[in-house]
Amino acid sequence: MKIIRAKDYTEMSRKAANIISAQVIMKPNCVLGLATGGTPLGTYAQLIEWYRKGDLDFAEVTTVNLDEYRGISKENPQSYWYFMHQNFFNHINIQPAHVHLPDGANLDAQAVCEGYDSVIHELGGIDLQLLGLGRDGHIGFNEPNVAFELGTHCVELTESTIEANKRFFESKEDVPREAYTMGIKSIMQARKILMVVNGADKADIVKKAFFGPVTPEVPASILQMHPDFILVLDQEAAAQI
C-alpha cells in the first residue's frame, strides 16, 4: 500500500489525476474502472482540463464503472450513466462503445451481473480501478459484511448509504433501494487500485480500513492485501494516521 498525502481536495484531485493520466499515456488502450460520487469529481475535472490542452487522448480507452442503481434508466438524471456523461465522458474523446456500466433498467439481476462480469473478462480485466470510500468502509456498493469472493451482484442499500446519497435526489424516498455493483473479487482483480478520500468525516474510517484488521465488517480493509494499491487523501482525511 502506498499512501500519498495532499494538503487539500484540489491537490488530492490533481495527484490522483496524475496517476490516471500516466496509465493512459503508458497504455493508450487501457481499461479504466471508474467511480461516481462527489469525491472523484475534482479528478475528472483535472483530466478534462489536460485533455482540452492536448495532453491526454482517450480515443482508445475503455471504461467500466463500479455500479448503477437498479430500476433506473440511462436517461434518468439520477443514474450513474447520466452522472458519468455529464461530468466526464461528454467532455473527452472516448468512444461511446467503449463506455460500460451495469444496465440499471434491466431488472433481471442474474443476467445483468453475469453479463457485466463477462464484459470485464472479455476486456482482459481492469488496468486501473478508481475508488472512493464510504463512511462505513464500503467500496462500490459493497456494504459491511459482504463476502469478499463475490463478483458483480445486486445489493440492498443500507440506511447509511441511502442517507448519504439522498442529496442527489429530491427526497430520501426517491433514492433507489437496490443497486448493481462490482463485487470485492472484481475490484481486487484490477491490476492497480487508486482510492481518493477527503474530509474530516472520513478520518476515522481511513484508520479502521487501512490500519486495522482485514474484515468484511470494513469492506475497504481488503485493499491492504492488494499488491498495487495507492491511497490519495487530504490532510483532514489523514488526521488519524
Please report, in angstroms and rounded to a whole number, the separation of the first and last CA atoms in the chain. Answer: 14
DSSP string, 130-189: EE---TTS-BTTB-TT--TT--SEEEEPPHHHHHHHGGGSSSGGGS-SEEEE--HHHHHT
Of 68, 103, 127, 136, the active-site residue reads: 136
Minimal CA–CA distance to 15: which of 28, 25, 5?
5
The answer to whether 19 and 50 are in contact (CB under 8 A) is no
Annotation marks residue 108 as catalytic: no
Annotation marks residue 138 as catalytic: yes
Annotation marks residue 143 as catalytic: yes
Of 103, 143, 153, 234, the active-site residue reads: 143
Annotation marks residue 136 as catalytic: yes
Minimal CA–CA distance to 187: which of 110, 122, 132, 115?
132
Of 67, 103, 127, 234, the active-site residue reads: 67
3-state secondary structure of 53: coil
Of 68, 103, 127, 138, the active-site residue reads: 138
From CA 41, how far away is CA 112, in angstroms rounded?
A: 27
- Catalytic residue numbers, as ranges: 67, 136, 138, 143
